[in-house]
Structure formats: structure tokens, C-alpha cells
Amino acid sequence: MNYGKELILDLHECNPKKFNRKSLRKFFGEMCELLNMEACDLHFWDYHGYAKEYEDAPDHLKGTTAIQFISTSNITIHCLDVLKSVYLNIFSCKNFDRLKAMNFCKDYFEGRFKGYHFLTRG
């Protein structure tokens, strides 16, 4: 039995100006529309309001993580400011076009593909 599909995408050399809550809200809205998915709750984990903690954090932790719940599962993103990298997972029991999703992410974050995996979960 096929439970769903998962796209795991790594982008490097991205534009870190897109790694903020406002831009990520826009990203999730456009991604859900592109893939015809219903957006539900959106949650952020970042250093918003914690400037000292951000300064003291190692480079590989400086950034924003967000999860956009969708009616069929979730889209999770980790944006790393200093490394200019995006790590994204789209998991859904609804079928979606992985190439559309990949190209949208590359264009939105102005990055290059470092790697990806597309899995059928079962």
C-alpha cells in the first residue's frame, strides 16, 4: 500500500534575504497553491527576539526552521543564513509534481541543487 510521497531537497548558494518569516510565509502560500494543497497551521522556530543567542550560535544553527502543516501532511524547511542553504521536505499522501516543486524552490531561493531524493512511502 502506498502511503504517500516525500521530496527531500537540498539547495545551496541561496539568497539568505529570503530566510525570514515574511518571505517564508509567502513561499509556503505559493508552494501550496502550486501543488494544489490546503495549508493549515504554520509554525516557526528561529532566533526572532533573541539576538544574543543568534550571535552565540554556531553557523550551522543560525537560521529559520518552519513547518507548514497541510491537510495531507506537511512541508518542512530549514534555512541556514551563514551557509546560504535550504533543506526542504515535502511529505504528502496526495500526489504532487516533484519537478514543479523542485524548480519553484530553486527559483524562489535563487539557489542551486545540491541533492534530492524522492521516495514513495509505504
Question: Which CATH number does the domain housing residue 81 bear?
Answer: 3.60.90.10
What is the residue-averaged pLDDT of the chain?
A: 95
pLDDT higher than 80, residue 62: yes
For 73, left (φ over 0), alpha (ψ -120 to 50), or beta? left
Residue 72 to residue 81: CA distance in whole angstroms = 29
Q: Nearest 5°: phi and psi at 28? A: -65, -40
In a domain, 99, yes or no: yes
- What is the pLDDT, as a whole number, of residue 16? 97
In a domain, 68, yes or no: yes
* Number of domains forming the structure of the chain: 1
In a domain, 21, yes or no: yes
| Residue 85 structural domain | 17-117
In a domain, 10, yes or no: no
Q: What is the pLDDT of residues 14-30, one digit of tens each?
A: 999 999 999 999 999 99
CA 26 to each of CA 4, 117, 122: distance values in angstroms, whole numbers, following the listed order:
25, 24, 31
H or E stretch covering 102:
helix 98-109
Q: What is the pTM of this model?
A: 0.92
